[in-house]
């Protein structure tokens, strides 16, 4: 078993280590995400204080939700894997087929490494600043709160692994579109607003109109932010939390199957037309 998995694990490890070295990018990204998080929280606060009736989510939860969103922002699928995009530009996709590996698995392992390696430093810094330092400077009301309890912590951790896997399955679909359309630009333009809005990245899904909310929470992007974050502060617990994780896993499997099928088709066409 270990021998079978090794090319994919090696691909994951190599890329994880490589991407982790981009410290300047991590710091710059972190600074932007702090700044952006502060603005979003101020907008939320203004909205809460100005609103006449009670809200579907407390301000405290909304603030925690926002910081979590900033910490794990990179898990939102923003664009095709830059390595794949580069291969598309240089016409080298076919050469990746010279490796005795399953191309989908190979790209998937690399996509998970690519996002996880960028999330890791940013999330650690965000927790240090938003959960650790802010209360020390008298900003406790605006800080990232601890998870609801031990159960919530464990389920959140499981759910974040689910996020990494779900996110990669969406990135792989973008990759396939990039390969099929011979440019990553169209796919990138389309995916960014979808993943940002539908995941609850712009506004928590709780703030969407009541009639659309149940549907929103069933679609795959909800599993990127909304589900794990609600598990974090205990809105989803017990069976409901497990159900949320199950939905994440279900969508991941469905999207992986779709991606495999689409990649297979695209690669067969590439084999006929030339790389």
Residues that bind other proteins (CB under 8 A): 3, 6-7, 9-11, 14, 18, 92, 94-95, 97-102, 268, 271-275
- List alpha helices for the chain, DSSP H: 2-20, 23-50, 59-71, 82-90, 93-96, 103-126, 134-136, 150-181, 185-198, 213-218, 226-232, 238-273
Q: What residues contact residue 22 under an 8 Å CB cut-off, 6+ apart?
A: 118
- Spatial separation of the C-alpha atoms in residues 250 and 257, rounded to whole Å: 11
Residue closer to other proteins, measured from CB, 8 or 225: 8
Which is nearer to other proteins, 51 or 272 (by Cβ)?
A: 272
For the chain, the C-alpha Rg in angstroms (whole number) is: 20
CB nearer to other proteins: pick between 83 and 151: 83
Q: What angle do CA 56, 191, 9 make, to 5 degrees?
A: 100
Min. distance of Cβ 161 from other proteins in angstroms? 23
Compute the least distance from the CB of residue 99 to other proteins, in Å: 5
Which residue has tokens 């090696």? 10
Q: Considering beta carbons, is residue 185 or 268 the nearer one to other proteins? A: 268
**Rounded to the nearest whole angstrom, what is the least distance from the CB of residue 6 to other proteins in the complex?**
5
Q: Give least dist CB 103 to other proteins, A.
A: 9
Find the helix or strand (DSSP H, E) in which 170 lies. helix 150-181
How far apart CA 246 and CA 176 sit, in angstroms, is 26
CB-based contacts of 135-144 (< 8 A; 24+ apart in sequence) = 142/41, 142/63, 143/63, 143/67, 144/63, 144/64, 144/67, 144/68, 144/71
- Residues listed for the chain: 275
When the beta carbons of 54 and 273 are compared against other proteins, the nearer one is 273
* Number of neighbours of residue 221 by Cβ within 10 angstroms: 24
Q: Which is nearer to other proteins, 15 or 230 (CB)?
A: 15
| Smallest distance from other proteins to CB 116, Å | 17
Q: How many alpha carbons lie under 13 Å from residue 155 in its C-beta half-sphere?
A: 27
Looking at the Cβ atoms of 173 and 267, the one nearer to other proteins is 267
Q: Cβ 271 to other proteins, closest distance in Å?
A: 4
Query: What is the nearest approach in angstroms of other proteins to the Cβ of residue 182?
Result: 12
């Amino acid at each position: 078993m270990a021998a079978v998995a090794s090319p994919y694990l090696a691909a994951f490890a190599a890329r994880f280590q490589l991407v982790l070295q981009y410290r300047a990018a991590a710091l710059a990204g972190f600074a932007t995400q702090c700044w952006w998080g502060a603005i979003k929280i101020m907008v939320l606060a203004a909205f809460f204080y100005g609103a006449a009736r009670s809200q579907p989510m407390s301000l405290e939860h909304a603030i925690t939700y926002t910081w979590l969103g900033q910490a794990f922002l990179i898990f939102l699928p923003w664009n095709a894997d830059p390595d794949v995009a580069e291969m598309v530009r240089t016409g080298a996709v076919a050469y990746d087929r010279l490796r005795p590996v399953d191309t989908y698995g190979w790209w998937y392992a690399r996509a998970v490494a690519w996002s996880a390696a960028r999330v890791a430093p940013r999330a650690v810094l965000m927790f240090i600043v938003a959960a650790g330092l802010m209360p020390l400077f008298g900003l406790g009301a605006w800080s990232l709160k601890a998870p609801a309890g031990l159960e919530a912590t464990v389920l959140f951790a499981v759910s974040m692994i689910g996020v990494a896997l779900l996110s990669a399955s969406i990135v792989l679909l973008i990759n396939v579109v990039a390969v099929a359309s011979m440019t990553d630009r169209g796919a990138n333009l389309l995916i960014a607003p979808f993943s940002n809005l539908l995941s609850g990245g712009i506004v928590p899904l709780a703030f969407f109109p009541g009639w659309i909310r149940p549907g929103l929470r069933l679609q795959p992007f909800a599993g990127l932010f909304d589900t794990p974050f609600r598990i974090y502060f205990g809105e989803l617990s017990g069976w409901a939390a497990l159900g949320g994780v199950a939905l994440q896993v279900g969508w991941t499997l469905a999207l992986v199957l779709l991606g495999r099928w689409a990649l297979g088709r695209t690669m067969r066409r590439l084999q006929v037309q030339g790389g």
